[in-house]
């Protein structure tokens, strides 16, 4: 077993490599962690690194291009890690993400990469979707936790229609929203009737974890 | 009290770091003209003539210090093969990014801006506005900066990958964009614009690390500004600006637009004597403002930015959301008239 101090060191080394977009160095740090303690590598090394990166972005210490590169690299590396890393998480309630209205996918890509790297099975329902089309996909797919990313205000306001339409879904659906309009107007998520809003992909990790536990 | 200046003289005083008769202000309500004229938004933005009428009506209503022929940022995707997707309840957006491969970038040449119907319409509106207001009122024009244009050419994800991992290709695209951006700005100036405001949000450390921007983006901005035959303002379009504000001023721009997240007094201190400061009301929050909120926000901005000149009060993104009620814009205008007259003794007093 490795002790907590070693794990922290490896997690910090991984974080540095990710911020430099240095894939080989990131792979080496993760490999070392996996060799020493396979089952905990995702939870104790990879996820904390990504969470620190998200938080530092929110605090203005990092740029989004670094967050994006880190997420992408981790997503690839986590795929390679899977055998032996133990915990593939399960949400009995289906988990999905979509971009409402527009074709600017970066928010969705960052959040998806982070959740997938952390082992969450996440369905991608697409982009450029209308509230109606998205509500239909959610109901058909038995989705219980829906992540919605938006960039434009008009798209963010359509979450209200989406939430209304989801009232008719076979089972209750929790809606987590995010994206620039929600970050700049901090009350907007309440106004549109979402269940929560996340300012970073790290927030998505925390909320999904909590909700999955509650929903069983 | 000194005689009232014309809007052009008031703005010139601010850009010259002097106190004119009052703090100049401009609310970039690019879509509200549709509301004033009672026409659907897509019809409005689809007609240079309606935009001109709308801009003139808006100036009558607010008494702000400029008019603008800007239609939408998405228009700049058109000369590169992208499409503009219009909506009735908000600004046009771009469709899928038109440049999909490295080869697309390698063979790219700066396109002629006038091949785009939407950009042509913006030129037409600019010329007609100049004819309507004469020399007394500044006619503003807008464009996307060379370092931000890739967001709609290749997509922001791909642009980040180029910046971090394929630098020669990123530099190639920047060279094309500088040339395009300068030719578009010069076309706007030739049509009668007084100044061109470039939206360069990717210069913000929120989006790209400052050292990388300084290495790649800033030289591109400097070369663009040098090739433009008129005054240029640059703004980070509501993303934080302060850490790179001095660098932007060093690129030769007349005015730097800062965001609501930036401290205005500090922005003034950093830029004093080098570039005027423009900003920094939060347009997304305006949807909920009461007249009292508007007055408080304006007073705070005037107190921090106004003293000594070198300040233009504006919204921080460069576009007020369509959903913001006209009454809020009127309350902002009213507050500037009430509190913005120089000298700002009330602000000096504390
Ligand atoms: C860069 C930028 C531009 C660039 C590139 C935009 C692009 N991507 O295509 C340019 C200059 C081209 C541009 C143009 C326009 N823009 Co712009 N732009 C921005 C800016 C500065 C950053 C947006 C961005 O892409 N960020 C990258 C994404 C990934 O960040 P993000 O959405 O915040 O996502 C992060 C988190 O929020 C979170 N997240 C995202 N989704 C989700 C989902 C969940 C579930 C969770 C938990 C978290 C989460 O994770 C991400 C990483 O941490 C913002 C203002 C700002 N300060 O953020 C305005 C902004 C998005 N733009 C805006 C507008 C209006 C426009 C234009 C329509 C302007 C115009 N009149 O033409 C055009 C549209 C052009 C187009 N795309 O078609 C508005 C949108 C709101 C509104 N008023 O409607 C904003 C918010 C500015 C503002 N203050 O009003 N823009």
pLDDT 10s digits, A94-148: 899 999 987 778 899 999 988 988 888 899 999 889 999 999 999 999 899 999 9
Q: Is the CB of residue A63 less than 8 Å away from at least one CB of chain B?
A: yes
> pLDDT tens digits for B171-221?
999 999 999 999 999 999 999 999 999 999 999 999 999 999 999 999 999
pTM: 0.95
Residues A101, A190 within the same domain: yes
Say if residue A8 is in the same domain as residue A112: no
Query: Residue A37's domain spans which residues?
Result: 4-85
Residue B349 is assigned to a structural domain of this protein = no
Q: Could you tell me if residue B73 is inside a domain?
A: yes
Contacts of A75 (CB under 8 A, 6+ apart): A112, A113, A114, A116, A117
List the structure tokens of A84.
């032996």
Q: Is the CB of A153 less than 8 angstroms away from the CB of B90?
A: yes
CB pairs under 8 A between A and B: 74
List residues near ligand 1 (CB under 6 A).
Answer: A 57, 64, 67, 104, 106-107, 110-111, 147-149, 151-153, 176-181, 183-184, 198-201, 203-204; B 72-74, 90-91, 93-94, 144, 148, 151-152, 156, 199, 201, 237-239, 283-284, 317, 319, 321
| Residue B167, in any domain of the structure | yes
CATH of the domain at A208: 3.40.50.280
pLDDT of residue A9: 86
Determine the pLDDT at residue A86: 42
ipTM over 0.90? The verdict is: yes
CA of A16 to the centre of ligand 1 (A): 27
pLDDT tens digit sequence for A134-171 = 999 999 998 999 999 999 999 999 999 999 999 988 88
Query: What CATH number is given to the structural domain containing B141?
Result: 3.20.20.210
Distance CA B88, CA A52 (A): 40
Distance CA A46, CA A54 (A): 13
How many structural domains comprise chain B? 1
Share the mean pLDDT of chain A. Answer: 88
Q: Cβ distance B150 to B177 under 8 Å?
A: yes
B52: pLDDT confidence band, cut at 50, 70 and 90? very high
CB B69 within 8 A of CB B125: yes
Do you find a cis peptide bond into B280, omega within 30 degrees of 0? yes
CB–CB of B165 and A21 under 8 A? yes
Closest CB to B164 among A57, A65, A103: A65
Which residue is it, tokens 């509190």? B339
Q: How far apart are CA B18 and CA B15, in angstroms?
A: 8
Provide the residue range defining the domain that includes B106: 7-344
Interchain proximity B205–A184, CB inside 8 Å:
no
Instruction: Give residue-wise pLDDT tens across range B275-331.
Output: 999 999 999 999 999 999 999 999 999 999 999 999 999 999 999 999 999 999 999
Of ligand 1's atoms, which has the minimum distance to the CA of residue A155?
Answer: 84
Cross-chain Cβ contact A63/B207 below 8 Å: yes
Number of domains in chain A: 2
Say what the pLDDT of residue B33 is: 98
Q: Which of B324, B322, B283, B326 is nearest to B41 (CA)?
A: B322
Task: Give the end of a domain, one of A43, A61, A85.
Answer: A85
């Amino acid at each position: 077993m490795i002790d907590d101090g070693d794990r922290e060191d490896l997690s910090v080394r991984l974080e540095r490599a990710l911020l430099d977009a240095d894939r080989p160095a990131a792979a080496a740090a993760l490999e070392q962690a996996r060799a020493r303690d396979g089952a905990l590598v995702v939870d104790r090394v990879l996820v904390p690194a990504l969470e620190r990166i998200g938080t530092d972005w929110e605090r203005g210490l990092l740029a989004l291009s670094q967050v994006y590169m880190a997420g992408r690299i981790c997503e690839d590396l986590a795929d390679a890690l899977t055998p032996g890393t133990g915990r593939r998480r399960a949400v009995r309630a289906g988990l999905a993400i979509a971009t409402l209205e527009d074709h600017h996918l970066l928010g969705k890509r960052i959040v998806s990469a982070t959740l997938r790297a952390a082992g969450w099975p996440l369905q991608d329902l697409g982009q450029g979707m209308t509230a109606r089309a998205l509500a239909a996909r959610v109901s058909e797919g038995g989705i219980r936790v829906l992540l919605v990313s938006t960039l434009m205000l008009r798209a963010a306001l359509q979450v209200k229609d989406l939430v209304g339409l989801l009232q008719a879904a076979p089972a209750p659906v929790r809606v987590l929203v995010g994206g620039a309009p929600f970050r700049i107007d901090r009350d907007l998520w309440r106004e549109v009737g979402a269940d929560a809003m996340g300012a970073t992909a790290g927030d998505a990790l925390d909320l999904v974890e909590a909700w999955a536990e509650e929903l069983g | 009290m000194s005689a009232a200046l014309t809007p052009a003289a008031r703005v010139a005083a601010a850009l010259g770091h002097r106190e004119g008769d009052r703090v100049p202000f401009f609310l970039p309500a690019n879509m509200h003209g549709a509301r004033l004229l009672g026409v659907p938004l897509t019809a409005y933005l689809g007609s240079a003539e309606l935009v001109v009428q709308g801009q003139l009506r808006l100036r009558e209503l607010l008494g702000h210090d400029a008019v603008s022929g800007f239609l939408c940022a998405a228009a700049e995707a058109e000369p590169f093969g992208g499409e503009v997707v219009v909506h009735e309840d908000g600004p046009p957006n771009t469709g899928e990014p038109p440049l999909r491969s490295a080869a697309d970038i390698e063979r790219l040449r700066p396109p002629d801006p006038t091949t785009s119907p939407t950009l042509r319409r913006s030129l037409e509106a600019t010329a007609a506005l100049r004819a309507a207001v004469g020399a007394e009122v500044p006619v503003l024009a807008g464009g996307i900066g060379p370092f931000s244009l890739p967001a709609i050419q290749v997509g922001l994800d791909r642009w980040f990958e180029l910046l971090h991992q394929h630098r020669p290709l990123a530099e190639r695209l920047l060279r094309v964009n500088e040339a395009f951006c300068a030719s578009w700005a010069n076309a706007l100036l030739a049509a009668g614009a007084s100044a061109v405001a470039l939206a360069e949000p990717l210069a913000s450390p929120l989006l790209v690390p400052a050292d990388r921007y300084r290495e790649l983006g800033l030289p591109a901005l400097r070369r663009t500004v040098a090739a433009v035959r008129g005054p240029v303002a640059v703004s980070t379009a509501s993303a934080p600006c302060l850490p790179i504000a001095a660098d932007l001023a060093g690129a030769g721009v007349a005015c730097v637009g800062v965001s609501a997240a930036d401290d205005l007094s500090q922005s003034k201190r950093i830029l004093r004597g080098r570039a005027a400061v423009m900003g920094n009301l939060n347009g997304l929050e305006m949807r909920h403002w009461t007249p009292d909120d508007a007055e408080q926000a304006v007073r705070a901005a005037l107190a921090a930015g106004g003293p000594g000149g070198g300040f233009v009060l504006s919204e921080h993104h460069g576009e007020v959301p369509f959903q913001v009620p006209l009454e809020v814009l009127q309350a902002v205008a009213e507050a500037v008239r009430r509190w913005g007259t120089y000298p700002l003794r009330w602000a000096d007093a504390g």
